[in-house]
């Protein structure tokens, strides 16, 4: 056996082993007949991205699952890839051009796209390089990119199929619009935050009347595009005005007063200005009442030319001028401070403008029906289960999906227009030209659609497009549906639900069986991590300091299913300490295996003692529990189970007890020593395999020093539990010994007696199991617990001057005669008695007070009774100790 370095240095081993794994193609998916399959597609990080703590958690969960299944003999595939991140990537390249004094329009679309690809080639691999640092065992030879040739073709295929089935259409609709990026945005691309603002109360005169309506608005500039005033039909204040018109201040346009139950009578003034072109709720009301859509703003957020005085003003500058004009005209009643929710672009932080725009949409209701059913019937399981209710709510109230974006980087919508705007949906210009020739009877010039598809559109195809669809590949046959999806709950709607819908629509099957929705990584006071708050640590620096294994294990250990993780660097000390413990115990075992050859062991010659049987029982029980917990996605519980076995059972107990046998060199102890060596090697080998999915690097390094055969621990067999080796009676017997040893150690510690001092012990018990354990393990217990003389039985007298503990049904006495200063001990006990008496008196007084008993709630009374019992038990124990000494 080789010897490990004295000090564990993750930096020295992690890059070495990852390169070995990747170069050796150990991550490669196999498609062997007769084997079960297990596959995961990675949530593709943005090609612009860099590793953050959320990635660490997400990738650690997936890697643990895939390594576990790989060791269990499955055909495994963990599919890597990145997302083209339309807006984010375009912004990166636009900023680069701006530094050169250029815009994308200056260089044209084709040249701009060429430069984006060049940027991607230069910088797009940063995050995949970083994923390797944390040990992610992805099948890199299969890496995909949402804009690569195969996936681009699948995007065109699915668009055309949806269009031909009547599920894609073009129409005018309300969207989130970024004036800076010049594009529509998905709901999830809008960040929301409360900002200080105002309520402007405006006076709208009723035509041919002395009356007027007062409305309150947070966006007074949009009044230029008002189409109506809405009131609740049950509001007695305004019933008489319904059907009349008001004159729009500054504009002079007459607009109707309409009745709609949407209006909240208690909010604001109870009268609501309706601006269908600039508010999503107003748009819905406008459709209902056939109101005109009047647009007062250009795509870049300026007032349109129809309003001559304000034309060309930025929307916020226009607000100031319009408010001043309203005040001058006597139409500004008052201004109130008001905090309200403001949406901003997730990429450039520009305030979003709700805007009616001609866009491409997918009809979602027909797709949502099946997606609801597969979760309801359990074919797709969401974990934690509480997310099902949220999922149902969203799909039951789903709106059509705006899939078009007014940017250049992305999948260009496969549509061409003829001279009369007739539309041709095709995979290529050639196909479109052929359709046009058939339609017009001659060749015509076509104009290609300039919009691109929402990034989420290509991501929705990820589970099958990455496996080769629309071709019928061996990968699709083997790995679809995939086994699990691991992602954040924040993209349940924007990605997970859409994959389910598109998988059912395209493949006529679910895309995955299990969806593990993990929480958000927050800082230690619960804030979401962000660069602006300065609370987002650099994972690469943490890896340099603590090692990837320590970080992975800490994150998994502290992540309950679906709960947010409150992260602090202090937590990582646990993972690092555990790694050091594993390293040091492995080093100890290797140093004590000189002359031992596991391949030549004759198991019939081994002398298994209670402690050996106990550790084998614990190993098999642990393997069983870990497997069950990983299969249920209870990764934190699985990590804790492995931790408790290796750190507690193996390191703290078995190895310590084995030392007695390892250092016994006489002839009679050789068989016992050899047995201890065999068990140490066997448990270390199995323990490293149990731990490998959680901590891949350190386990590989150590295993390579103890292995008998095989190239890598990651392809060795995960420990298979053997029920016949799980022995509850053995475990109970050993737990009794553990309790006995701990009791004696505690008595010594309390009395200031050296742990190495041998003592006399008396144990009184009528429990047959305890008596047999003491009898069968007499020599073992006396050596381990430093007992000079051990007496045990059913009817023994309690010795005078002794320390006392209860262990199971046993009364354990350590004889202290000659070990202590009796007078000092009596004095100490009496001083403790005085303190306990005072506290006991206090609680007794409280519980005998009728007023207190009558007024105090039951949980307070329970608490006081518990305190009373604790002090009474302490008092009785001290009195018994005092009696022994006197």
CB 345 within 8 A of CB 181: yes
Q: What is the pLDDT of residue 589?
A: 96
**Two tokens, residue 750:** 């309390």
What average pLDDT does this structure show over 286-290? 94
More confident residue, 534 or 211: 211
Contacts of 51 (CB under 8 A, 6+ apart): 127, 130, 131, 133, 134, 539, 540
Rounded to two decimals, what is the model's pTM? Answer: 0.84
What is the spatial distance between Cα 798 and Cα 811, in angstroms, rounded to a whole number? 9
CATH-assigned architecture of domain 548-726: Orthogonal Bundle (1.10)
Q: How much of the chain, in percent, has pLDDT values that exceed 70?
A: 98
> Which CATH number fits the domain 183-354, given the four candidates 1.20.1250.20, 1.25.40.10, 3.90.740.10, 4.10.520.10?
3.90.740.10
Q: What is the pLDDT of residue 180?
A: 87
| C-alpha torsion angle, residues 853, 857, 863, 864 (rounded to 10) | -20
Q: Is the pLDDT of residue 164 over 80?
A: yes
Banded model confidence at residue 668, pLDDT cuts 50, 70, 90: low
Tens digit of pLDDT for each residue in 470-518? 999 999 999 999 999 999 998 999 899 999 999 999 999 999 999 999 9
More confident residue, 672 or 254: 254
What average pLDDT does this structure show over 8-28? 96
Q: What is the pLDDT of residue 686?
A: 98
Q: What is the pLDDT of residue 885?
A: 67
Q: What is the pLDDT of residue 717?
A: 97
Q: What is the pLDDT of residue 52?
A: 92
Q: What is the pLDDT of residue 174?
A: 85
What is the spatial distance between Cα 82 and Cα 84, in angstroms, rounded to a whole number? 7
Running DSSP on this structure, what letter comes out for residue 482?
E
Q: Is the pLDDT of residue 527 over 60?
A: yes
Q: What sections of 558-634 are H helices per DSSP? A: 572-591, 610-631
Q: Which residues are annotated as a binding site for ATP?
A: 531
Tens digit of pLDDT for each residue in 313-370? 999 999 999 999 999 999 999 999 988 888 998 778 899 999 888 899 999 999 999 9
Q: What is the pLDDT of residue 780?
A: 81
Q: Tell me, which fold does domain 730-815 have in CATH?
A: hypothetical protein PF0899 fold (3.30.2320)
Domain ranges of the chain: 183-354, 548-726, 730-815, 822-885
Q: Is the pLDDT of residue 667 over 60?
A: no
Q: What is the pLDDT of residue 304?
A: 95
**Two tokens, residue 480:** 């679809």
Contacts of 244 (CB under 8 A, 6+ apart): 206, 207, 209, 256, 257
What average pLDDT does this structure show over 676-684? 96
Q: What is the pLDDT of residue 535?
A: 84
């Amino acid at each position: 056996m080789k010897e490990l370095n004295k000090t564990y240095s993750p930096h020295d081993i992690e890059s070495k082993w990852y390169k070995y794994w990747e170069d050796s193609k150990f991550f490669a998916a196999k498609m062997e007949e007769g084997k079960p399959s297990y596959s995961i597609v990675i949530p593709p990080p943005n090609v612009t991205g860099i590793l953050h703590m959320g990635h660490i958690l997400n990738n650690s969960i997936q890697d643990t699952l895939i390594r576990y299944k790989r060791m269990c003999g499955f055909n495994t595939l963990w599919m890597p890839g990145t997302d083209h991140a339309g807006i984010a990537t375009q912004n990166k390249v636009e900023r680069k051009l701006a530094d050169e004094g250029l815009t994308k329009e200056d260089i044209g679309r084709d040249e701009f796209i060429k430069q984006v690809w060049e940027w991607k080639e230069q910088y797009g691999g940063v995050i995949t390089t970083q994923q390797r640092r944390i040990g992610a065992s992805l099948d890199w030879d299969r890496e995909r990119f949402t804009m690569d040739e195969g996936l681009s073709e699948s995007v065109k295929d699915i668009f055309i199929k949806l269009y031909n089935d009547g599920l894609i259409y073009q129409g005018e609709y309300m969207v989130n619009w970024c004036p800076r990026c010049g594009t529509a945005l998905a709901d999830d691309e809008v960040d929301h935050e409360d900002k200080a603002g105002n309520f402007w109360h405006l006076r709208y005169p009723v035509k041919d009347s002395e009356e007027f309506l007062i409305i309150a608005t947070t966006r007074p500039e949009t009044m230029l595009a008002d189409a109506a005033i809405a009131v609740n039909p049950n509001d007695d204040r305004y019933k008489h005005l319904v059907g009349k018109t008001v004159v729009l201040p500054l504009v002079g346009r007459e607009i109707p007063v309409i009745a709609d139950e949407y209006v909240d009578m208690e909010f604001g003034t109870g009268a609501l200005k309706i601006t269908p072109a600039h508010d999503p709720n107003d748009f819905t009301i406008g459709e209902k009442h056939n109101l005109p859509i009047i647009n007062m703003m250009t795509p870049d957020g300026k007032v349109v030319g129809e309003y001559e005085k304000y034309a060309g003003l930025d929307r916020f500058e226009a607000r100031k001028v319009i408010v001043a004009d309203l005040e001058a005209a006597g139409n500004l009643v008052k201004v109130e401070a008001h905090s309200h929710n403001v949406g901003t672009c997730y990429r450039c932080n520009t305030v979003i403008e709700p805007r009616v725009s001609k866009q491409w949409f997918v009809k979602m209701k027909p797709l949502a029906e099946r997606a609801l059913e597969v979760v309801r019937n359990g074919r797709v399981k969401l974990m934690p289960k509480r997310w099902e209710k949220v999922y149902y709510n969203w799909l039951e109230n789903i709106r059509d999906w705006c899939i078009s974006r007014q940017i250049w980087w992305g999948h260009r919508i496969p549509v061409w227009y003829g001279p009369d705007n007739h539309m041709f949906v095709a995979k290529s210009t050639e196909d479109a030209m052929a359709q046009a020739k058939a339609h017009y009877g001659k060749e015509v010039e076509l104009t290609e659609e300039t919009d691109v598809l929402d990034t989420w559109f290509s991501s929705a195809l990820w589970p099958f497009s990455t496996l080769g669809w629309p071709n019928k590949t061996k990968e699709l046959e083997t790995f679809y549906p995939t086994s699990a999806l691991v992602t954040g709950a924040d993209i349940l709607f924007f990605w997970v639900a859409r994959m389910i819908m598109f998988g059912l629509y395209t493949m006529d099957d679910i895309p995955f069986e299990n969806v593990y929705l993990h929480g958000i990584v927050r800082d230690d006071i619960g804030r979401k991590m962000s660069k602006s708050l300065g609370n987002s640590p650099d994972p690469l620096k943490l890896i340099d300091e603590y090692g990837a294994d320590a970080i992975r294990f800490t994150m998994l250990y502290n992540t309950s299913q679906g709960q947010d993780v409150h992260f602090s660097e202090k937590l990582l000390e646990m993972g690092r300490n555990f790694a050091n413990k594993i390293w040091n115990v492995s080093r100890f075992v290797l140093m004590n295996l000189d002359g031992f050859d596991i391949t030549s062991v004759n198991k019939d010659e081994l002398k298994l003692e209670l402690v050996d049987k106990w550790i084998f029982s614990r190993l098999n029980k642990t393997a069983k529990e870990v497997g069950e917990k990983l299969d249920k996605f209870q990764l934190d519980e699985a990590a804790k189970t492995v931790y408790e076995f290796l750190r507690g059972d193996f390191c703290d107990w078995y190895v310590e007890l084995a030392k007695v046998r390892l250092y016994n060199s006489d002839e009679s102890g050789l068989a016992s020593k050899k047995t201890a060596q065999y068990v140490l090697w066997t448990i270390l080998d199995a323990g490293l395999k149990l731990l490998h999915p959680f901590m891949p690097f350190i386990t590989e390094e150590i295993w390579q020093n103890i292995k008998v055969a095989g190239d890598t621990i990651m392809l060795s067999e995960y420990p298979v539990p053997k029920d016949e080796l799980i022995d509850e009676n053995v475990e109970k017997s050993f737990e009794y010994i553990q309790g006995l040893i701990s009791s004696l150690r505690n008595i010594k510690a309390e009395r200031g007696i050296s742990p190495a001092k041998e003592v006399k012990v008396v144990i009184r018990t009528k429990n047959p199991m305890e008596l047999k354990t003491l009898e069968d393990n007499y020599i073992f217990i006396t050596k381990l617990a430093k007992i000079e003389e051990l007496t045990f039985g059913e009817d023994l007298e309690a010795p005078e001057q002794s320390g006392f503990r209860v262990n199971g049904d046993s009364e354990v006495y350590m004889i202290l005669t000659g070990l202590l200063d009796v007078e000092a001990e009596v004095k100490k006990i009496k001083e403790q008695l005085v303190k306990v008496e005072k506290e006991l008196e206090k609680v007794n007084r409280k519980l005998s007070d009728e007023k207190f008993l009558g007024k105090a709630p039951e949980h307070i009374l329970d608490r006081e009774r518990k305190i009373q019992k604790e002090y009474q038990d302490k008092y009785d124990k001290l009195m018994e100790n005092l009696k022994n000494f006197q």
